[in-house]
Structure 1
Amino acid sequence: MNIRLTINGTPVDATLNDSAAARDFADQLPLDLTLTDFHQTEKIADLPRRLSTSGAPEGATPRAGDLAYYAPWGNLAVFYRDFPYSDGLIILGRIPESATEQLAAADEVPVTIENAM
């Protein structure tokens, strides 16, 4: 599934995988969020509700450009740097790695996430 993130006014095309969590995330779109920095590795934001974790692996090793859901906290994470394996992390999809520079540039980043037509 194709989605679009508008990061600081710049549109970025992204792709969601076919997991239950990604489909549940897509059902919440459109979303207006403010992503805040976490550990100089990712930007995070709370979602309106928790996502389905049905059939999800116990964790994942995120790479720069991964769009993920951290089930223990119920938040969205967009990684702009690689990070070690994390229990409870579910990869939802990818943004182009070139877009990660925009995320790393500021502590808080306004983003709109919507279905791409």
Structure 2
Amino acid sequence: MTAQLDPTVQEFVDALNANDQDRFFAVLTDDATMSDDGVERNLAQWTESEIFGGNARMQVESVGDVGTELLADYTNSRWGSMRTSWRFTIRDGKISRFETGQA
């Protein structure tokens, strides 16, 4: 049986791929945090430069067995294409934290 993404994580991926900022931020808690390659980042600044300002796209390659971890081919206009890992923490049906980095 192939693991599937948690529905909240799936919504994150779908919103990112649709370049839909309202939908993207609606899936995050108000106090959401994130790190990129082990470095804590300002979520609003990072998403503006790395996702929405960079026409980002994510193609999920594999999913961890609880659906909150994934490997993806992540592409944006700033860095090109790279294999990345993502880990999500979900609280009350929203993402309260995500960590990403090169895989």
TM over 0.5: no
Q: Higher relative CO (CA 8 A, sep ≥ 6), structure 1 or 2?
A: 1
Task: Give the TM-score, by structure 1 length.
Answer: 0.30
Task: Give the TM-score, by structure 2 length.
Answer: 0.33
